[in-house]
Amino acid sequence: MDRARRRKFGQNFLNDATAALIASDLLVSTESILEIGPGHGALTQHLLKKNTPLLAVEIDELCVSVLREKFAEFQNFSVVNQNFLDFDLRKFLDVNPKAWITGNLPYNVSTAIVADLMPFLKYSSGFMGMVQLEVAERLCAKPASKAYGSLSVWVQAHAQAQIVRRVGPENFSPKPNVDSATIMLKPLECPLQAPIAFFEWVQIAFSMKRKRIANSLSKHFEKALVFEALASLGLSENTRAEELSPQKLLDLYQALQSKI
């Protein structure tokens, strides 16, 4: 297979032993599975053993041909040749409520895919899949840790996020230049009730990492009001965005909104 195609579609295929391990992490009983980026079916062949309907969404038509031939015998397998970023997830989850979403995600679009999943996560059982380790750390980071940022807030406003296992480059062909990790994202029973404008505000709040949140926010809001909002929550003027949980950030956003 040509290298340009592999690079374009972020194709690093898993070896069988690791694919089996990852599939076994999805032990939970479920009525359906949605797999993103099945490639040549390394993970798919283990997931199909669960005897659950599985829909795979794969962008590369060559992979789709391989999959159709390989799994022709499986009644529970179907595949669509589509960019997952254009896939109608809401419609799929309407028909397949509480499906598990999984996949060894293409690293070039893994952040976009996970971010897009979040508003729909509550209609599914959750997501368990692979991303590069650095992305996994950002998605699952807790306040006050180095990796915590606006992406962590977006994900953890919707999901309980944790790293399940680390996977080294030697488990893929071709080997990626980075380490990988599987993550489990389970929908929160009570997702953070916040408007989209809050998440845009969070990006401003984190725009100057390791600086006081008042400095980042003062580019868009009067500094005195930011100090007032911080004080109303008992927070010091020196508070940094990365010290605040998603809920505390929302409290601060609302306190500031009430003053402008």
Residue 126, helix vs strand vs coil: strand
CA angle 200, 114, 100 (to 5 degrees): 135
User: Which residue from 60, 92, 118, 252 is in contact with ligand SAM, where contact means CB under 6 A?
Assistant: 60
CA distances from 114 to 103, 117, 175, 184 (A): 11, 5, 23, 11
Position 84 contacts ligand SAM (CB under 6 A): yes
- 75, with CB counted inside 10 A (0-12, 13-18, 19+), is exposed
Binding mask 25-44 for ligand SAM (x = CB under 6 A): -----------xxxx--xx-
Tell the smallest beta-carbon distance from residue 67 to ligand SAM (Å).
Answer: 9
Position 129 contacts ligand SAM (CB under 6 A): no
Tell the smallest beta-carbon distance from residue 52 to ligand SAM (Å).
Answer: 17
Position 78 contacts ligand SAM (CB under 6 A): no
Tell the smallest beta-carbon distance from residue 49 to ligand SAM (Å).
Answer: 16
Which residues is 31 bridged to in the sheet? none
Dihedrals φ, ψ of 157, to 5°? -75, -20
Of 46, 42, 45, 14, whose CA–CA distance to 27 is shortest?
46
Helix (H) or strand (E) holding 82: none
Position 151 contacts ligand SAM (CB under 6 A): no
Shorter beta-carbon distance to ligand SAM: residue 107 or 198: 107
Residue 2, helix vs strand vs coil: coil
Stretch that binds ligand SAM, among 54-62, 162-170, 207-215, 249-257 (CB under 6 A): 54-62
Position 13 contacts ligand SAM (CB under 6 A): yes
Tell the smallest beta-carbon distance from residue 8 to ligand SAM (Å).
Answer: 8
C-alpha atoms less than 13 angstroms from C-alpha of 208 in its C-beta half-sphere: 11
User: Which residue from 23, 32, 55, 58 is in contact with ligand SAM, where contact means CB under 6 A?
Assistant: 58
Which residues is 140 bridged to in the sheet? none
* Alpha-carbon gap, residue 196 to 151, rounded angstroms: 13
Tell the smallest beta-carbon distance from residue 238 to ligand SAM (Å).
Answer: 42
Binding mask 89-128 for ligand SAM (x = CB under 6 A): ---------------x-x--x-------------------
Quote helix, strand, coil % in the chain, to nearest 5.
Answer: 45, 20, 35
Where on the chain is the footprint of ligand SAM (CB under 6 A)? 9-14, 36-39, 42-43, 57-60, 63, 83-85, 104, 106, 109
